[in-house]
């Protein structure tokens, strides 16, 4: 049985429920018991109810919005995970006619936003609770880990499943599984960690019990991980890259289009900046398999950024040479895998913005 606390005045209030348990809702200092089975709507649609403080009555309402009619996504039977299909469009592919890693990251962000919208949990698309909005609190990315086993090609349809859950006392996490819609083959997985920040002071804040209680109702009761394997690569720490770096791309400037609704550089932009300092020979002969990014500082529109890269494999042939601005000085023909450490820093004072690790595999002949 789940206890849900809320403040009800003499108005209509909308709540979302995703459980077969009963809910105790105080109305004008009285408590009424509500069984979600009494409010069940057609399968896979978020359950919403209107509570009248005057009569203490509850009735289901239609939560469909104009945008919902065009979203092909749906909540799964458990009410916690969400699936949506996407077609890979021509402007989302690179020179290989396959989706870029930035496209993949943008789709992960899109399906996450659609998930919380579908739940009726957050109207701003960033999964902020009522308490968070009152206190001007937002979620910001602390870590992103993406593994891509097979890149979808132009016109392929990708199905992405996502869910969120608590991550200790400091934040929350969100996981994804990507499948080829035609074959149901898992073509990628991803996980992320998020922390809470005050939108006015730009300082991190601890997740309070009040906020935690508001979003836990939308999270699986038991831990569910996209990477359940012990000692998987998503758990590995990333060491700080020290100067001098082998490869660099200096003085990168955020575009206006790089800013998101939280007024800072979108986390997907960092991926593009990291890849700017990858040696060109790696880009020509390899494809990105794994990327892990730790976000350590905000980046604003006026900041100027340096992208630094160094090979992490000691006997990597490319590590014996030094290049700048993304140009390699050695041949790596026949080398199947490469791994790099990355750092993004402010050009002005060297403060670290982001550190990362990438793993690359030899491109397959098509």
**Can you read off the two tokens belonging to residue 87?**
């077609």
Checking DSSP bridges between strand 305-311 and strand 337-346, what pairing results, if any? Answer: antiparallel
Longest dimension (CA), the chain: 77
Catalytic residue check, 232: no
Checking DSSP bridges between strand 286-295 and strand 137-148, what pairing results, if any? Answer: antiparallel
User: CA-CA distances (angstroms) from residue 275 to 74, 110, 264, 299?
Assistant: 34, 22, 20, 17
Catalytic residue check, 262: yes
Provide the sign of the torsion angle of the four alpha carbons 238, 244, 248, 253, taken in this order.
positive
**Running DSSP on this structure, what letter comes out for residue 84?**
E
Helices within the chain (DSSP H only): 101-119, 130-134, 209-216, 267-276, 280-285
Instruction: Tell me which of 106, 198, 232, 262 is the catalytic residue.
Output: 262
Contact call for residues 53 and 62 (beta carbons, < 8 A): no
Contact call for residues 269 and 211 (beta carbons, < 8 A): no
Instruction: Tell me which of 299, 335, 342, 354 is the catalytic residue.
Output: 299
294 three-state secondary structure: strand
**Can you read off the two tokens belonging to residue 41?**
């709507």
Instruction: Tell me which of 264, 286, 335, 342 is the catalytic residue.
Output: 264
Contact call for residues 120 and 126 (beta carbons, < 8 A): no
Contact call for residues 165 and 223 (beta carbons, < 8 A): yes
Q: Which residue has the tokens 């990362």?
A: 356
Catalytic residue check, 13: no
**CA-wise closest residue to 211 among 144, 127, 295, 142:** 127
**Can you read off the two tokens belonging to residue 56?**
């203490």
User: CA-CA distances (angstroms) from residue 222 to 3, 80, 193, 231?
Assistant: 18, 11, 17, 20
Give the catalytic positions in this structure: 262, 264, 299
């Amino acid at each position: 049985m789940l206890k849900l606390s809320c403040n009800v005045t003499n108005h209509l209030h909308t709540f979302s429920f995703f459980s077969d348990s009963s809910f105790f809702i105080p109305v004008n200092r009285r408590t009424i018991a509500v069984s979600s089975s009494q409010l069940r709507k057609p399968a896979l649609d978020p359950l919403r109810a209107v509570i009248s403080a005057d009569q203490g009555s509850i009735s289901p309402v239609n939560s469909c919005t104009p945008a919902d009619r065009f979203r092909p996504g749906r909540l799964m039977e458990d009410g916690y995970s969400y699936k949506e299909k996407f077609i890979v469009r021509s402007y989302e592919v690179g020179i290989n006619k396959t989706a870029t890693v930035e496209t993949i990251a943008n789709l992960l962000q899109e399906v996450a936003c659609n998930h919380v919208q579908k739940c009726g949990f957050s109207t701003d698309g960033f999964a902020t609770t009522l308490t968070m909005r009152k206190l001007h609190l937002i979620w910001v990315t602390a870590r992103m880990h993406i593994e891509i086993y097979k890149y979808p090609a132009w016109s392929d349809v990708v199905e992405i499943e996502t869910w969120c859950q608590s991550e200790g006392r400091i934040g929350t996490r969100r996981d994804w599984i990507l499948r080829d819609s035609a074959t149901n083959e898992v073509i990628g997985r991803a996980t992320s960690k998020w922390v809470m920040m005050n939108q006015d002071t730009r300082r991190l804040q601890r997740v309070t019990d009040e906020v935690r209680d508001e979003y836990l109702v939308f999270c699986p009761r038991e831990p569910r991980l996209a990477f359940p394997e012990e000692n998987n690569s998503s758990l590995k720490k990333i060491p700080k890259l020290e100067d001098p770096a082998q490869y660099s791309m200096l003085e990168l400037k955020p575009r206006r289009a790089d800013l998101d609704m939280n007024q800072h550089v979108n986390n997907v932009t960092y991926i593009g900046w990291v890849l700017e300092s990858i040696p060109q020979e790696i880009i020509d002969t390899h494809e990105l398999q794994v990327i892990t990014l730790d976000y350590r500082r905000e980046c604003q529109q006026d900041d100027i950024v340096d992208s630094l890269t160094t090979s992490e494999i000691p006997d990597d042939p490319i590590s014996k040479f030094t290049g700048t601005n993304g140009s390699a000085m050695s041949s790596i023909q026949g080398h199947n895998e490469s791994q790099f450490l990355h750092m993004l820093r402010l050009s002005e004072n060297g403060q670290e913005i982001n550190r990362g690790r990438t793993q690359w595999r030899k491109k397959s002949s098509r």
